């Protein structure tokens, strides 16, 4: 486990164990995660596989889906979850890790978290002093194949030198990392079972789970192995819980605590529907699990290649507010607004332009901007995708050959969402070549905001000192005088395009009165 998290709206398109760092407020979701480490693909096949079938087998499902447990149909509260727990518990494991990590001193450590750092409290006011220390942690996992494949969270095992898996009967086996995917916080491990007969748990269909359905969590909270808790699915499609690009969590009120990371969330038929990953601090009945269907999409790649290959579009996007929808003459506030098309990208080659609103991708409707990253990421590299956009009030379709997302690339970044409200209230000056050089701008165009009235609509909409305004109502701004003229001509509102750092975003401003 590493840190507490706050939501962010800037993402790159394409969560509970010990030894974490905490660096954000305690009222935010708690993410417990290790430092980054890249794992190479290891031996992917058990001795029982036909070597000739290895390539095909590596790319397909290698887990069971039939639990063999009759589906319970309780009326009201089930009388007991004991039979279910006994059936699936042998497949749930405790994971103990150790490794050497580099850490820095942290200020303002919340009380009660010192034990996560080897018993050495951090004192307020001390400067950051990066150093190496021995770190150990605990988490949970579950067996998905009798060959020894185990699923857990990436943050439980990455950057760890030694990983031990403890089974219900007391057996302890060393595990190796087969593959890691930090973006979904999923890891695939492999143990050599030898003569031990492993029990594998079935993987279910998280899409079929509904809020109100009973679920059971089994894990290793605070080192208490094989703890069983029960509750319901509280909600689905929870986003902005962490800073991960592809989050789409199942929320549950089944008690999940530090150490449950990587453990299974199980339905009444004994099938895994989620991987317990994150908690809301100070509320142990608000937990979040990665949907198992999301895991099933990437586990074959982790087994075969050790990492996940994702599709890449190459745009920067933002959400569509009602104000922006009005400015773009859209019937409704939906879709992903393209605020920038990155150069030399599939989007640029395919004809996507800044100001387009992506409303459909390969026949999948895009209702909100955060739905687009996963859809693009799951598209095979080099596949041709049909992208439907709204441009100047008309639907247009583009066939785009999807590229491959690399860690150094941006599939799409999401510009900060900003709502427009009341009057303009800003001052600006021309961007000269020398000023552009000082600000690190690629080109000397647009005007720079030098002052923002704290009580004006520009401030309320999110305009900041140092922003560069490059367009007003889709027209290029050539100078400060040109900006004033364009704003003067604007009716009740104006749509401005702002460059902030490496991002560009549309902001809707309303005239006072």
Active-site pick, 12, 140, 145, 155: 155
> b/e string for 223-244 if b means 16 or more Cβ within 10 A?
eebbbbbbbbbbebebeebbbb
Contact indicator for 480, 292 with CB cutoff of 8 Å: no
> Is 185 labeled as catalytic in the residue annotation?
yes
Contact indicator for 350, 343 with CB cutoff of 8 Å: no
> b/e string for 399-426 if b means 16 or more Cβ within 10 A?
ebebbebeeebbbbbbbbbbebbbbbbb
Active-site pick, 181, 185, 267, 356: 185
CA distance 29 to 499: 30
Residue 263, both tokens: 């453990």
HEC-encoded secondary structure of 182-205 = CCCCEEEEEECCCCCCCCCCEECC
> Is 245 labeled as catalytic in the residue annotation?
no
CA distance 251 to 152: 18
Contact indicator for 388, 362 with CB cutoff of 8 Å: no
Helices (H) and strands (E) in the chain, counts: 10, 30
Contact indicator for 127, 146 with CB cutoff of 8 Å: no
Instruction: Using alpha carbons, select from 320, 307, 383 the residue that is nearest to residue 355.
Output: 320
> Is 363 labeled as catalytic in the residue annotation?
no
CA distance 157 to 183: 14
Active-site pick, 12, 67, 135, 261: 261
Residue 12 forms beta bridges with which residues?
413
Ordered alpha helix ranges (H), 79-195? 82-88, 154-157
CA distance 269 to 265: 12
Instruction: Show which residues are catalytic.
Output: 155, 185, 261
């Amino acid at each position: 486990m590493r840190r507490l998290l706050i939501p962010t709206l800037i993402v790159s398109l394409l969560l509970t164990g010990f030894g974490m760092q905490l660096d954000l407020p305690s009222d935010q979701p708690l993410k417990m995660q290790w430092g980054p480490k890249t794992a190479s693909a290891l031996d992917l096949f058990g001795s029982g596989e036909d070597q000739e079938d290895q390539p095909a087998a590596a790319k397909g499902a290698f887990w069971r889906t039939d639990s063999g447990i009759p589906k319970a149909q309780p009326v009201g509260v089930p009388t007991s979850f004991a039979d279910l727990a006994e059936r699936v518990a042998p497949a749930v494991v405790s994971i103990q890790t150790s490794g050497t990590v580099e850490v820095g001193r942290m200020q303002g450590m919340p009380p009660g978290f010192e034990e996560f750092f080897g018993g050495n409290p951090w004192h307020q006011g001390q400067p950051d002093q990066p150093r190496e220390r021995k770190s150990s942690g605990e988490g949970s996992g579950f067996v998905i194949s009798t060959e020894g494949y185990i699923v857990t969270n990436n943050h439980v095992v990455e950057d760890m030198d030694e990983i031990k898996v403890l089974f219900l009967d007391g057996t302890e086996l060393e595990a190796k990392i087969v593959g890691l995917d930090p973006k979904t916080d999923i890891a695939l491990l492999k143990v050599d079972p030898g003569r031990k007969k492993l029990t594998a748990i079935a993987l279910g269909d998280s899409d079929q789970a509904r809020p109100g359905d009973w679920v059971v969590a089994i894990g290793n909270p605070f080192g208490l192995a094989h703890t069983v808790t029960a509750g319901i699915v509280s909600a689905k499609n929870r986003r902005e819980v962490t800073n991960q690009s592809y989050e789409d969590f199942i929320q549950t009120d089944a008690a999940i605590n530090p150490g449950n990371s990587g453990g299974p969330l199980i339905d009444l038929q004994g099938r895994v529907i989620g991987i317990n990953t994150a908690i809301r601090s100070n509320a142990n009945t608000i937990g979040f699990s990665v949907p198992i269907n999301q895991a099933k999409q990437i586990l074959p790649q982790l087994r075969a290649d050790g990492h996940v290959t994702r599709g890449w579009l190459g745009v920067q996007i933002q959400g569509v507010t009602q104000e922006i929808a009005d400015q773009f003459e859209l019937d409704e506030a939906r879709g992903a607004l393209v605020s920038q098309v990155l150069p030399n990208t599939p989007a640029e080659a395919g004809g996507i332009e800044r100001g387009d609103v992506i409303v459909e991708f390969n026949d999948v409707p895009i209702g909100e901007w955060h739905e687009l990253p996963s859809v693009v990421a799951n598209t095979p590299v080099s596949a041709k995708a049909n992208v439907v956009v709204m441009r100047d009030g008309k639907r247009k379709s583009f066939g785009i050959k999807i590229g491959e997302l690399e860690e150094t690339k941006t599939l799409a970044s999401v510009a900060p969402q900003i709502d427009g409200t009341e009057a303009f209230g800003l001052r600006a000056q021309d961007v000269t070549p020398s000023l552009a050089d000082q600000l690190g701008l690629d080109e000397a165009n647009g005007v720079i905001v030098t002052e923002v009235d704290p009580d004006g609509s520009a401030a309320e909409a999110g305009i900041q000192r140092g922003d560069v305004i490059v367009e007003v109502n889709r027209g290029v701004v050539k100078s400060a005088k040109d900006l004033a003229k364009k704003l003067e001509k604007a009716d009740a509102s104006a749509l401005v395009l702002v460059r902030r750092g490496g991002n560009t975003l549309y902001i809707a401003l309303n005239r006072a009165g």
